[in-house]
Amino acid sequence: MMRASLSLAILVLVSASAAAAELPTTLDLTVIRGLPVQHDGRWPPLDTVARDIVESVTGDASYRGHDPVLLLLAWTFDAWSWTDEPLLSIDNAELRAELRLPASKTAYSYAELLEHHHLRGLIDDLANIAGGRKPNPLETKVGDISEKLILLQEVFNGNVIRPIPDPDNIVGVWHPIESTPDELDPDPVRGAWAELGLAFLMDDAPAFAAASRRLVESLAALPAAHRTDPGLIATELRYNRLRPFRTAWIVMVVGAVLAAGALLVRRKWFDGLAIIVMLAGFAILTYGLSLRWQIAGRIPAANMYESLLFLSWGMGAFAIVAMFIQRQRVVPLTASGMGALTLILADCLPLDHYIRPIMPVLLDTVWMSIHVPIIMVSYSVLALAVVIAHVQLVVMATAPRRRDLANVIDSLHYWYVHVGSLLLLAGIITGSMWAASSWGRYWGWDPKEVWSLVAFLGYLAILHVRINRARVAWWMYVVGALLGVGLAVVVVPKLGPLTAAKQLALCGAAVAMLIFVLPRGRFATALKSVLAFWLIVMTYVGVNYLLGIGLHSYGFGTGAVARYMFLIGGIDLVLIAVCCAVYAARYPWHAAAANRAAE
């Protein structure tokens, strides 16, 4: 009865007003924002659910500057007014042409897309894709649009907000108010929900506040097998409000600018200011990670977004240690700059930044909290090392007489490579322990495992060839040649058909052997470091986005990352090729050989 009266009230209000969608302007959403609901395997506040839903549909959690909770309630209580609003963006002109949509528009309404015959046909065809076949790019885009339409339909039908708990099962399904079974006795909740909807449509702030309190009290009176900790709800609301990672990268950008200025000013007080700002950014990042850890109940390192956060954190943590050991002005600059860049990528790339449940196999062991921080800090240190390696290449190519500067940079770079390589080895070892705990084996030739080993061998080659004298280096060349012969004669015939994954793995092995063969010297060490870091990039990003196979599928992401990888890789290749050409022209090979002999 209450459900029918709510629907009738909404229909009357919509019929009496203009069809244009409008939002209330006077409502206090504080109480309803913290309402615990079930969503995607968790029990977050309604504020988190609203942000997730609105961003999934429109691409922006604060669509047109509106509060996401206000939008979600409007889509729920006033669905008729929003079916014709252009909520779904299709920015790609080629995709619009393929879908035969009007070229003059970039945003379309739910009704417009749902009534589009060609798009509906393409959506229907998705169900006929043969099992196991990977969808083509058009099918993938159509699938994304279909998911948005389905999600918006669920919102319009009132099935997204699920605040009524299961009375018996702690992991049972919670129910939306409008379709709750009568045996759960939800009539007081339905009454409060109806009052809330009417107050929302009439923009009645006092009635809305009273209905919000009554709804929360009615839900609290229902039997429930699981109750969300109010402190945890408050923590998540604070996390949503503060947006600590965006604040952190803004502070780090300021720190990088100050650190760059410190190189010119060369005053201790200016160095101190740059360090203080860097530490402030690191503190904000650490606080954000701690909040996310509390909310998720696990270490925040389960997907690409969270790993980028840890990558930035590792740069800051290592920089703090490096400042006490190296005492070089370039340390705060590289740490703040690279830390900010990593957080900007995490914030701006189309990565899922919401907290999601993870595979149970990952929660049943402590190794996740050990392996992931170690491996991410190793990537952080090696990322800082490759930045310094690029600086070293440019300095040695353009200013060959500045040997004092080249020596300082070389010393810092080589120390970073040492520490990063040791951490990478520790990460591989702890990863094997995690694999044994979760999957029952230490090593299974998974693509992520193979590429991490290839990357470590590349850095191991840098360390051994650099620190050993000519005779030992000659033996390293022999070992590299034998490995190449063994790979060609023994391993390749057993690979079977050379799939793209196997070809990429062979390319990685070839790069590792190339690092063995390149000569010794400061310039060669920097060049090897650049090459070796691309093995890290392949391990960290390429396995997920290029190969798309393996047991590490929980770390996969979405987006056109491969295109950006090749673009950045091509630019980097051109840069180091220019540096090598300039260095060879300004620093003849016989002088370079004499310099290596003196090292």
> pTM of the predicted model, to two decimals?
0.81
Domain count, the chain: 1
Tell me if 371 sits within 8 A of 427, measured CB to CB: yes
- Asked if residue 147 belongs to a domain, the reply is yes
Where in the sequence is the domain holding 49, given as residue range(s)?
2-233
- Residue range 151-158: mean pLDDT, rounded: 94
- Asked if residue 245 belongs to a domain, the reply is no
Tens of pLDDT, residues 383-442: 989 988 988 888 888 877 777 787 888 888 888 888 898 999 998 888 888 877 777 777
- Asked if residue 226 belongs to a domain, the reply is yes
Tens of pLDDT, residues 267-314: 888 888 988 999 999 999 999 999 999 999 888 887 888 988 988 998
Nearest to 371 by CA among 331, 421, 426, 414: 426
Tens of pLDDT, residues 166-183: 988 988 899 998 877 777
- Asked if residue 165 belongs to a domain, the reply is yes
Mean pLDDT, rounded, of the chain: 80
Confidence tier at 133 by pLDDT (50, 70, 90) = low
CA distance 178 to 157: 9
Specify the higher pLDDT residue, 75 or 133.
75
pLDDT at 11: 40
- 377 has a pLDDT exceeding 50: yes
Specify the higher pLDDT residue, 560 or 217.
217
Tell me if 74 sits within 8 A of 46, measured CB to CB: no
CA distance 397 to 390: 11
- Asked if residue 378 belongs to a domain, the reply is no
pLDDT at 534: 85
- Asked if residue 94 belongs to a domain, the reply is yes
With a pLDDT cut of 90, the percent of the chain lying above it is 30
Tens of pLDDT, residues 469-525: 444 445 555 555 555 555 544 444 444 444 545 555 555 565 555 555 555 678 888
- Residue range 83-111: mean pLDDT, rounded: 90
- Asked if residue 292 belongs to a domain, the reply is no
- Asked if residue 541 belongs to a domain, the reply is no
Alpha-carbon distance values, 199 to 27, 204, 223, 383, 505 (Å) = 9, 5, 27, 54, 62
